[in-house]
Structure 1
Amino acid sequence: MSVNTKSSDRLTQVVQGDGYDVVIERSSRRKTAALKIDGGLVTLVAPRQLPIERIEQLVADKHRWIIEKLAHAALAKPASSNQFVSGEAYPYLGRNYRLKVLTGDLIAPKLVNGRITVTVPAPKQQPHYIRRLLQSWYKRNADRKIREKVRRYRKLVGVETGVVRIKDFKSRWGSCTPYGDLEFNWVIVMAPNRVVDYVVVHELCHLLHHDHSTQFWKEVERVMPDYKEHREWLKQRGHGLVV
């Protein structure tokens, strides 16, 4: 199988396989490369300094596995009703932003003039690329915004925090450990800003009370008197936060 670099920019590269493309995401936090397939999109998360030649070889070595997984993905039900076309609205911190899809070399999404702009080689044939790129955009922004909120609210709660991670959770908005490590579902940044604040405060208060006791909720209310409003928003509308 021949594997060629198709296009690249500072954040993302695309490697062309035999009948499919592989989106390469570089991360300074990765020590090893990992392949994953989501919604028909093949992604390889690689250490920032890993040579492209090594990545190409990894893709070639996993060719059969990739083909099998893509076949299963083709039979799977789509996770979202979005069509990933220009004009669709995507929420971020309570405000809707219209998607603008451009044709060209693959470029990571950017928020420009009130629109989320994404560029892919063939938009009509590659909605799974657009979806994956949007998810990456949300994750990067979630990492930045949630860390800012943790720094602000930990002083109000009066706790010290450990590592802050942004993760994929199926049924949770966040979690914490007795060591002060906090994990948050990246999807939460699609919710209104104050709802995101509530989730951050909720997890920080768990560093004081590791249950949902009366003392825990009193602490949440001390920091955020209107928390019940935001908790109810999540119960009623949180299931609709999906890319």
Structure 2
Amino acid sequence: MTARQPQAEYREGRGFIAEVIRTSRRKSADIRVEDGAVSVVVPTNTTTERIDQLLAAKRRWIKEKIALHREQAPPSTRRFVSGEAFSYLGRNYRLKVETGNFTPVRLLNGRLLVTVPSGSQQHMVRNALVRWYKRQAEHKLIEKVTRFAPQVGVEPTGVGIKTFRSRWGSCTAKGKLEFNWRIMMAPNRMVDYVVIHELCHLIRHDHSPEFWREIGRVMPEYQESREWLRANAATMNF
């Protein structure tokens, strides 16, 4: 498994930013709003003019979906303004919000830097951060799965990144591992534990004593990570 990350492409949609995902596997466009973030999946050769037309035609539906997500999201004390700290692999980085044409989040000189249009709302900054965490999760978790799978003695069929409300990962019946992007806020060793935990589910699909013995074989001190995640789960959210 490799972690190739294509160049990101975005379009401004008057009140939201849409990530453009080009693929040769589609013949028509598909607009999605997931976790409050907008993406448009289009055939590879779709023009930017056509993408803008699609977003304009669905603008009302998109805004309604964004508003619904904000209503249903748990209360947050986050303001998504310059100076706020966000954890990445257990280390805090200060957010810096600049004004201009949209530029996705970058980790630069110890800061999480994002550029958004003038008058942008908090949700636009939040969505930019969510996208950044998801991209980091995809890269790092594939690396970790590739590293730990031989130690566990399994071969997963794939790795995916999702938004889970109350768990850090899952293992599908077809052998694909899915991870909550929020785990990237935890220290590195806790991320290792979650990866090993899900890999061990490819051997035991339960939480029997045999399952925990499999984890202990690869990570003898796993109990410390398990307890840390239980105690700190509520802090890894925005």
- CA–CA separation in structure 1 for the residues paired with 2:70 and 2:159: 35
Q: Within the alignment, does 1:194 sit opposite 2:189 as a pair?
A: yes
Aligned pair count? 228
In the TM superposition, what whole-angstrom CA distance separates every residue of 1:202-232 from its partner, at most 9, and x where no partner exists?
Answer: 0000111111111100110110011001101
1:167 aligned residue (152, 158, 162): 162
Is residue 83 from structure 1 mapped to residue 101 from structure 2 by the alignment? no
- Which 5+ residue runs of structure 2 have no aligned equivalent? 1-6
Aligned with residue 215 of structure 1, among 210, 216, 226: 210
Residues 55-107 of structure 1: per-residue CA shift (max 9 Å, x gap): 22322332443454466567666642211111111001011111111122111
State which drifts further: 77-86 or 185-194: 77-86
Whole-angstrom CA distance in 1 between matches of 2:136 and 2:43: 19
CA contact (8 A) 2:33 2:66 kept: no
Distance verdict in 2 for CA 1:94–1:167, change over 3 Å: same
Find the counterpart in structure 2 of residue 241 from structure 1. Answer: 236
Segments of structure 1 that go 5 or more residues without pairing to the other structure are 1-9
CA deviations 1:20-59 (Å, max 9, x no partner) are 33312123567342232755x6x23323723223322322
Q: Residue 187 and residue 48 in structure 1: after superposition, are their counterparts in 2 closer, same or farther (change >3 A)?
A: farther
The whole-number CA distance in structure 2 between the counterparts of 1:177 and 1:227 is 22
Deviation at 1:161, TM superposition (A): 1.3
Q: Please name the residue that 1:95 is paired with.
A: 91
Query: Aligned match of 1:21 in 7, 11, 15?
Result: 15
SS at match of 1:21: coil
Q: Deviations over 1:174-195 (max 9, x none)?
A: 1112432110011101111111
- C-alpha separation in 1, matches of 2:160 and 2:210: 26
* Alignment match of 1:139 (pick from 131, 134, 138): 134
- 1:156 matched to 2:151? The reply is yes
Cα distance in structure 2, aligned partners of 1:150 and 1:15? 35
Q: Cα offset for 1:240?
A: 1.6
In structure 2, the CA distance between the partners of 1:206 and 1:72, relative to structure 1 (3 Å rule), is closer
Q: C-alpha separation between the residues in 2 aligned to 1:153 and 1:191?
A: 18
Distance 1:129 1:86, change over 3 A: same
How has the CA–CA distance of structure 1 residues 59 and 204 changed in structure 2, closer, same or farther, with 3 Å as cutoff? same
Is contact 1:12–1:23 with CA below 8 Å preserved after alignment? no
- After superposition, give the CA deviation of every residue in 1:136-194 in whole Å (9 maximum; x if it has no partner): 00000000000010011001101111111011111121111243211001110111111
Q: Structure 1 residues 153 and 134, CA, compared in 2 at 3 Å: closer, same or farther? A: same
The 1:12–1:22 alpha-carbon spacing in structure 2 relative to 1, beyond 3 Å, is: farther
Query: What is the aligned partner in structure 2 of residue 231 from structure 1?
Result: 226
* Separation in 2, partners of 1:74, 1:216: 38
How far, CA to CA, are the matches of 2:84 and 2:172 in structure 1?
38
Percent identity over the alignment is: 50
Which of 90, 113, 129 is the aligned partner of 2:124? 129
TM-score, normalising length: structure 1: 0.84
SS of the counterpart of 1:108?
A: strand
